[in-house]
Structure 1
Amino acid sequence: MITAVIIDDDSNIISGMRGLLTLFAPQIDIIGEADTVLSGIAAIENLKPQVIFLDIQLTDGTGFDILEKINEKQGKIESHVVFITAHEEFAIKAFRFSALDFLLKPVDPGELKKVIEKIIKTIEKNNEFSNIELLLENVKKEKNNFKRIALSNSDGIHQFEIADIIRCESDDNYTKFFMKNGRVILISKTLKEYEELLKDSGFLRVHQSHLINLKYLKSYIKKEGGNIIMQDNTNIPISQRKKELLQDILFKQISK
């Protein structure tokens, strides 16, 4: 069995989560509950659960406050954290940049099953949960000012400076990340998700299969349908509908 605690200030959410976990994830053993920051910290310290289902907004603070206090006391978080939240755009973006799981209220059974399956697959792996520290770093920042991103694949969770990503390439339902140091990492998420995540960080999707970091754009070649050369010397095609947008961006950069 996988031990877990639920921290939420809504008793209906707690009872609802208990019911959903009983039906759809019987391998999860709820060993504790809490409804405040203080009781949540005590539950985690005393029970040491493998999984924490954590609400963002609590009566005496936030779920982030709990993680910060545990981090300060123990040096690191040693539990899988699954946030339960209303649709809070900034928080959700921070979760995605940090490769952390979240469930939107009301909790969808299908999404819950996906999260539990992911936890079961990774529970035996050696994980330092450093992406929780990245989350705490990100939630303190101004909106859309994230500097690092966590990428999760079968090998574990890897953190990178966003500025070191040259480009991303679609590979069916996977995305390949090409890094400044030559490293390539394959992630089991679509390019569309990363387009949405990185569009405010200087990235542009120039083709259905290519998302580029504009700061690594070396040259733009108009002939033969149009393509661009990146600083790693890769040749990237440009879709017809993105040519004008790219030209506008380049013109603005030259005009500065």
Structure 2
Amino acid sequence: MKTESKHTAIIIDDEPNALVVLRKLLDIHCPQVEVLASVLNSIEGLEKIKALKPDIVFLDIEMPQMNGFQLLSSLDEINFHLIFTTAYDQFAVKAFKFNALDYLLKPIDPVELKSAVKKINEKSAFLPQQLEQISEMLHESEKGHVPGRIAFPHTKGYRFISLSDIIYCESESNYTVLHLVNEPKFTVCRTLGEIEDILITSHFLRIHRSYLVNTKKIKEFIKGEGGYLIMENEIEIPVSRNKREQLGSILKPN
């Protein structure tokens, strides 16, 4: 019988009850994880990470003195597996998924906890761009905004692209091709559905199963049978029948 790998962990959360609950859940459901320390503030958490060098850090985001992102930015390198614990939901969940980051929503579900711990040996290295991206996304979401730029994952890492530079996005199997202003197209390692999820509150609209367009880059909407858009780069894009009314209402002058 295959035995599970042993791991050491630190829990950082400014809520005493959250520390107790997570530690108990780990004892019961993830006995292969040894908790080296549970700390109530990010300053002490930073010291413990440097001193104890854990395999895993369970990190709350919103904390006084220094939030979770500021703590991570204070480290020379992130050489541990990071699992965020957060009370954020909806947009934040999409942001975490888009950035391929592990997270646990409070109150923590034991099944989700076991799944996150199980994935530790499968995860690749944490990149600084992911930290910058998720911090910016959550900050903007608190104000009801979508960030002005997003770090899109590709085969060599992440690349920040301004949303205003995207004319439209085109599905290509499990990848998406971004058609940009004044530069070649760019292929990202996310499906069109995943990109739609993260841009849903912005000025982007899924007008066809294969296309997500920046409505600010539409030059002309040709109605009637076989309706289509002419984008700023003169490319014609088909509009699904069930999207024509919604598109028309968006483009209608106020």
- Please give the range of the TM-score, normalised by the shorter of the 2 chains: 0.7 to 0.9
Which amino acid in the other structure matches residue 137 of structure 1? E
CA distance 1:200–1:55, change in 2 (3 Å)? same
Q: Is the 8 A contact 2:11 2:39 kept in 1?
A: yes
What's the counterpart of residue 176 of structure 1?
176
What's the counterpart of residue 140 of structure 1?
139
Compute the displacement of 1:95 (Å). 3.4
- Specify which of 37, 42, 45 is matched with residue 42 of structure 2: 37
Higher mean C-alpha deviation, range 205-214 or range 146-155: 146-155
Task: Give CA-to-partner distance per residue, 1:13-35, whole Å, 9 cap, x none.
Answer: 2221344334xxx5x66544323
Compute the displacement of 1:205 (Å). 0.9
CA distance 1:192–1:94, change in 2 (3 Å)? closer
What's the counterpart of residue 197 of structure 1?
198
**How high is the TM-score relative to the length of structure 2?**
0.75
Identity across the alignment (%): 30
* Distance across 2 between alignment mates of 1:224 and 1:19: 61
Task: Give CA-to-partner distance per residue, 1:62-96, whole Å, 9 cap, x none.
Answer: 8x61431442x446655443212235345435535
Which amino acid in the other structure matches residue 56 of structure 1? I
> When you count helix as a share of all residues, which structure comes out higher?
1
What's the counterpart of residue 209 of structure 1?
210
Q: What's the Cα RMSD here?
A: 3.3
Q: Is the 8 A contact 2:129 2:151 kept in 1?
A: no
**How high is the TM-score relative to the length of structure 1?**
0.75
Compute the displacement of 1:247 (Å). 1.6
2:160 counterpart SS class:
strand
* Distance across 1 between alignment mates of 2:72 and 2:165: 31
- How many residues in Structure 1 have an aligned counterpart in Structure 2? 240
1:140 counterpart SS class:
helix
Compute the displacement of 1:229 (Å). 2.5
Which amino acid in the other structure matches residue 84 of structure 2? F
CA distance 1:108–1:177, change in 2 (3 Å)? farther
Consecutive unaligned residues of structure 1, counting only runs of 5 or more, are: none
* Distance across 2 between alignment mates of 1:6 and 1:247: 51
